[in-house]
Homo-oligomer: A and B are copies of this chain.
Amino acid sequence: MPGNTFGQAFTLTTFGESHGPAMGAIVDGCPPGLELSEADLQIDLDRRKPGSSKYTTQRREDDKVEILSGVFEGKTTGTTIGLLIHNTDQRSRDYSKIKDVFRPAHADFSYQQKYGIRDYRGGGRASARETTMRVAAAGIAKKYLKEKYNTTIEGYLAQIGHIVPEVIDLSLVNENPFFCPDPKVLDEIAQFIDQLRADGDSIGAKIEVLVRNMHVGLGEPVFGKLDADLAGAMMGINAVKGVAIGDGFDVVTQRGSEHRDEMDRAGFRSNSAGGTVGGISTGQDLVCSIALKPTSSITKSGDTLNKEGETVQISTTGRHDPCVGIRATPIAEAMVALVLMDHCLRDRAQNHDVERKSLFDE
């Protein structure tokens, strides 16, 4: 119940604060016999890690993950997998400026109200650093889904501020610091971020995740819908304020005859649904997008309260991404992977004996 375990059949439980000694995770339910090494998990950790370009936070972390249990002679044993990443650059600094002040749009105020106490160093448990363990754990899910079903999960920047990249080539995504699929806008984004830094300000972003070779039949009626679990997973990423499946908010102005994805023997003719109908996957590509708010740590001064209830001015200095949305790409992929893995296992618990034949011509 205390909100720190994700999933039901394939589960992730995590610990760790931004400026504590280490981040850790426990993964349960992984099928036995999967070949798994730390290198498998390092791929996405390296994609996510801070300090990898001048456009993101300058905190330097190696983010080297250790597998402490659950893998024996290179294979998963079916028992609990333990993961650990040491924090190396939680540099000692002077917290006196933020210790007693509630930075607007940070979790400072809500944590203090809820618990009557908070670890103010670097955001504590509310820091996006917590997502390292989601990315590490999802590496297991991604590997399994790829090997077993050939499922691929690819995220990319769909919008940053007013700039809307075209989805030209997803293979470009890992070749630039913005996870951007459009080479034409790279310079524009770089200049925009430089300008934001100069302004002491930040910007929001939209990230999209595309899943190909989707397993059909994932999701459960009523409260265990695939899209519902995806929405919960995605909204639970730091800074996310909106989640859409398929056409998302565009459906408000669509007519039924326009929205529905008609079918023939060649397959679905369109994908407004974004991969799920009735909360269950159809085999269409899964398409999920999220809106991330602008980084709240900015140097531009603003008003707020301190713990004594006095109005004070705040300006957050330090090592911050001007757009947290950029680095959210591997995190968004991770959450999709965790949901799909969980639902694959849940589905076969119940429907192990159902023979599923495609109605479409191959």
Contact = CB atoms under 8 A, between A and B. Distances in A.
Q: Which 6 A-B pairs have the closest CB atoms?
A: A3-B224, A107-B278, A232-B232, A3-B220, A15-B82, A228-B236
Nearest to A307: B359
A293 interface: yes
Contacts of A353: 31, 33
A82 to B, nearest CB: 3
A283 to B, nearest CB: 7
A2 B218 CA distance: 12
Contact of A244 (B111, B241, B251, B298): B241
Interface residues of A, number: 162
Contacts of A4: 11, 26, 28, 80, 220-224
Interface string A89-111: 00000000000001011110111
Copies held by the complex: 4
A257 interface: yes
Given A84-B24, A111-B278, A248-B291, A243 B235 contact: yes
Contacts of A241: 227, 244-249, 251, 274
Interface string A1-12: 111111011111
Contacts of A106: 277-278
A206 to B, nearest CB: 5
A255 B224 contact: no
A302 B259 CA distance: 11
Contacts of A264: 303-305, 311
A228 B231 CA distance: 7
B110 A216 contact: yes
Contact of A256 (B1, B125, B203, B309): B203
A217 interface: yes
B5 A5 contact: yes
A349 B1 contact: yes
Contacts of A225: 3, 235-236
Nearest to A277: B110
